[in-house]
Amino acid sequence: MPAFASCGEAIILGLVSGPACIAACGPILVPSLLAEHKGFRPHARYLSVFLAARLLGYMLFAVVAWELGLLASLLPAPRLLLMGVVYVLLAGVLLWYAYSARRSCAQPCADSKLVQITENRNHGVTGAAALGLLTGLNLCPPFVVAGIRAAQMGSMAAALLFFAVFFLGTSIWFVPFVGLGCIVRNQAVITVARMAMVLIALYYLSMGIAMLLGKKAYGY
Amino acid sequence: MATDARTLPLARPAPRGIGWSLLLTLPILVWSLLMFFNPGSSKTPIWIISGAITALFMTTLFFMMMRSRSTYRWRRIFFVSLGVLFPIGFIYNIVVMRGTMGIPVEEMIAGRTPFCFMPIPMLILPAAFTRTLVFPGSIASASHGIAAMVGVWLALTLVMGKGWCSYACFFGGIEEGVAAIPARAKIRKLDPRLRYLPWAVLLAMVLLSLALFEPAYCMWLCPFKAVSEYVAARNLLGLVQNVIFILLFAGLVIVLPFLTKKRTQCSWFCPFGAFQSIFNKISIFEVKIDKERCKPCLVCLNACPNLSLSKESVARGETLLSCMKCGACVDVCPRQAIVWHIKGTEIAWKPERARLMFLYAAWAMAIMFGGSIIAQGIATILHFIV
């Protein structure tokens, strides 16, 4: 019965935290989806891989943090360091994504062929997995809230279950993103998505470096 | 064989008579007087003088538009004046109120920053998801509250479309002035893909604003922070922000407009401009190209300050979505093939009437937004002289 109650709590927490999760993941997910194949199915596949990798990131962090006893008490300095590393890696993946999209459309850049920017299907899957994993490791506010509650669980298994159910609750909010697959793809949309990826990557890179510099950048 | 009259080049229309031009200017004169001398308000002599100069200035420019039947060069005089006088009045006010151009974060959080329309697209998603405005300005103020300003902006935008960027924006004037300096462009070949960059900036900034719960553009990328209010640099991050502002201003507002004779910040960077472009689809006013009359000499392509024409769009008989309705292409076309147009009418249906209808709306907006800023700038200068 307590397990059932904690699952209920986790799913409600996930559902109410969903908008914050979308806000945190939006800058990464939206441009990368817009640079993908047009259509419902490719987007559903991309989103599934992204969410699965995000769950993996959640679990990985939860296990390590539980083992180290840091789940609810990660000090500001190491937290800043971890986020700095995640931000720099996110920037790297986004830049690679924008660059590889350009490479794969470089040869057949005419009419509808241009739309199919990823002839290599692995490109989308790898990118989605890398981005999903990194957003899972990103200490966004809903994640921290879930972490604090999970730390109060009696065992690691219970904490992991709490995280998994919490993840399910938040994931429902991501389903509408599949609708982006219905937006018409042309050279303009793909170019805009790629340029936006570069800008967002530069933002994450600068913030990541600032976080790694810590006191030198923030002055406190 | 009979020749269609519309395929013949037209002579440039003769100037309109002074009497007619004065009559057409009368509504604008009345509107100017109402704006700058509204009854019941008590004003200092400096304010009365600056208001009178501004009313005369705006009315004279409109009269010249009516008399000469050309739009662009008179609009440009207003727009450059607005761009130059805005920082003068703004900086003076900020320094008097705050003692410095630098704005500390706590001032932003407390909402003690003046209204700016730039973050409007970045307010939408955070407001939709959380009912929270992330704009760092006052919401409570009755006369300049964000809700009222957003309402005025929306009403005007629905009518004018991206005309906002040529008749109301107080940022574009500096680069338009710089672009007017050289006789010829030093850089002529411009990558057309750069036209997509404002949309990318818009997408990135809207998403980041939602993620960070702050207007990311104002915090990181606004070139005009260099001439308005910069971030009070208390740490390395603040210093980096200010360096970005200065570099963007120098590059996009000074150097590139000088080299290309284009409004490069507006064409290649401004997210608000991209957002305004969407409303060109709704606005009833547009610039069209009469395909029967056009022998594509492409003079209009070079004249357009905003890269809103391409060979393909000229062939289709229309401008690109980013058209700011400045009138440069209309004035320069040697065959009078580019015309002001009201949607739903024949392309050749009384283009001068369409121009007049657009200009009344645009100039009323220009007086309301730009005129008050020009008056503020003149008052500041007078304050130092007198």
Residue A128, domain member (yes or no) = yes
Is residue B2 one of the residues assigned to a domain? no
B200 and B54 within one domain? no
Shared domain check, B166 and B39:
no
Q: List chain B residues with CB under 8 Å of A19.
A: 129-130
Residues B134 and B265 in one domain: yes
* Chain A CB contacts of B234 below 8 Å: 219
A213 vs B contacts (CB less than 8 Å): 236
Is A38 inside a domain boundary?
yes
Query: Chain A within 8 Å of B239 (Cβ-Cβ)?
Result: no
- Strand B338-342 versus strand B285-289 pairing type: antiparallel
The answer to the question of residue A83 being in a domain is yes
B313 and B258 both lie in a single domain: no
Burial of B221 (0-12, 13-18, 19+ CB in 10 A): buried
Structural contact between residues B158 and B283, judged by C-beta atoms closer than 8 angstroms: yes
Is B130 within 8 Å of A19 when comparing Cβ atoms?
yes
CA–CA gap between residue A150 and residue A161 (Å, rounded): 9
Q: Does residue B164 share a domain with residue B127?
A: yes
Residue pair A33/A176 in contact (Cβ under 8 Å)? The answer is no
| CA-to-CA separations, A50 to A82, B47, B163, B236, in angstroms, rounded | 21, 60, 41, 35
Whether residue B202 lies inside any domain: the answer is yes
Structural contact between residues A21 and A132, judged by C-beta atoms closer than 8 angstroms: no
The answer on B71 and B122 residing in a single domain is no
Q: Is B94 within 8 Å of B127 (Cβ atoms)? A: no
In a domain, B359, yes or no: no
Contact A216 B210 (CB under 8 A): no
Q: Count how many residues are written for chain B.
A: 386
Do A217 and B235 count as a contact with CB atoms less than 8 A apart? Answer: yes
- On whether both B97 and B245 belong to a single domain, the answer is no
Look at residue A60 and tell me if it is in a domain: yes
CB A32 within 8 A of CB A173: no
The answer to whether residue B3 sits within a structural domain is no
Task: Evaluate whether residue A195 is within a structural domain.
Answer: yes
Residue A153 within any structural domain of the chain: yes
B5 inside domain: no
DSSP label at B42? -
Closest-CA residue of A relative to B206 is A27
Q: What CATH number has the domain bearing residue B290?
A: 3.30.70.20
- Chain A segment 31-90 residues within 8 A of B by beta carbon are 31
Q: Is residue A123 part of a domain?
A: yes
Which residue range forms the structural domain that includes residue B316?
A: 284-349
Q: How many CB atoms within 10 Å of residue B229?
A: 24
DSSP lists the bridge partners of residue B103 as B231
Which of B323, B163, B171, B304 lies closest to B248, judged by CA?
Answer: B171
What are the residues facing B340 on neighbouring strands? B287
Considering Cα of A190, then A193, then A199, then A200, what sign does the dihedral take? negative
How many domains does chain B contain in total? 3
End-to-end alpha carbon distance in chain B: 71
Residue A37 lies in a domain: yes
- Spatial contact of A14 and A165, defined as CB atoms under 8 Å apart: yes
Pairwise CA distance, residues A179 & B217, whole Å: 27
Per-residue model confidence as pLDDT tens digits over A52-87: 999 998 888 878 777 776 655 666 777 788 888 989
Q: Which domain holds residue A143?
A: 2-215
Sign for the pseudo-dihedral over CA of B207, B190, B298, B296: negative
- Please report residues of B whose CB lies closer than 8 A to that of A216: 236
- A213 Cβ under 8 Å from any chain B Cβ: yes
- Locate the chain A residue with the closest alpha carbon to B212: A24
Domains of chain A: total: 1
* Structural domain contains residue B166: yes
Residue B357 covered by a domain: no
**Do both B164 and B270 map to the same domain?**
yes
| 8 Å CB contact of B200 and A213 | no
> Does residue B52 sit in the same domain as residue B169?
no
Taking CB atoms and an 8 Å cutoff, what residues of chain B touch A219? 234-236
Closest Cβ–Cβ partner in B125, B200, B211 for A195: B200
Would the CA dihedral through A4, A9, A13, A15 be positive or negative?
positive
User: ipTM score of the complex?
Assistant: 0.85
Ramachandran angles phi, psi of A69, nearest 5°: 70, 30
A220 contacts in B (CB within 8 Å)?
235
What contacts B35, CB < 8 A, 6 or more positions away? Answer: B55, B367, B368, B371, B372
- Quick check: helix, strand or coil at residue B11? coil
- Shared-domain flag, residues B78 and B64: yes
Interface probe, candidates A29, A191, A194, chain B, greatest B C-beta count within 10 A: A191
Rounded CA gap, A105 and A100, in Å?
9
Cβ–Cβ gap A193/B129 under 8 Å = no
- Confirm whether B361 is domain-assigned: no
User: What gap in Å lies between CA B260 and CA B187, rounded to an integer?
Assistant: 5
Question: Looking at the partner chain, which of B126, B203, B237 has a beta carbon nearest the beta carbon of A192?
Answer: B203
Q: State the smallest CA–CA distance between residue B251 and chain A in angstroms.
A: 17
pLDDT tens for chain B, 386 residues: list them.
444 545 555 667 788 999 999 999 999 999 999 988 876 666 788 989 999 999 999 999 999 999 999 999 999 999 999 999 999 999 998 888 888 888 877 776 666 677 788 888 887 777 777 666 666 555 445 445 566 777 788 888 888 999 999 999 989 999 999 999 999 999 988 999 999 999 999 999 999 988 887 788 888 899 998 888 888 777 888 888 899 999 999 999 999 999 999 999 999 999 999 999 999 999 999 999 998 889 889 899 999 999 999 999 999 999 999 999 999 999 999 989 999 999 988 887 788 999 999 999 999 999 998 999 999 999 999 999 88
The span from the CA of B172 to the CA of B252, in Å, is 11
Beta carbons within 8 Å of B136's beta carbon, 6+ residues apart:
B108, B109, B111, B113, B214, B215, B218
Q: Do B216 and A203 touch (CB under 8 A)?
A: yes
Q: Which helix (H) or strand (E) covers residue B81, if one does?
A: helix B72-98
Residue A172 CA from chain centroid, whole number: 15
Q: Is B128 touching A (CB cutoff 8 A)?
A: no
- Map tokens 């710089």 to a residue: B178
- One domain for residues B86 and B111: no
User: B48-90 pLDDT, tens per residue?
Assistant: 999 999 999 999 999 999 999 999 999 999 999 999 999 999 9
Q: Which residues of B touch A193 (CB under 8 A)?
A: 200, 203
Domain edge (last residue) among B229, B263, B282: B282
Interface A–B counts its CB contacts (< 8 A) at: 72
Residue from A195, A215, A216, A220 to probe the interface with B (highest B Cβ count within 10 Å): A195
Distance from B234 to chain A by nearest Cα, in Å? Answer: 7
User: Looking at the DSSP assignment, which residues form a beta bridge with residue B286?
Assistant: B341
B35 and B120 in a single domain? The answer is no
Q: Given the structure tokens 């059932």, which residue do they identify?
A: A4
Cross-chain residue pair A200–B235, CB shorter than 8 Å: no
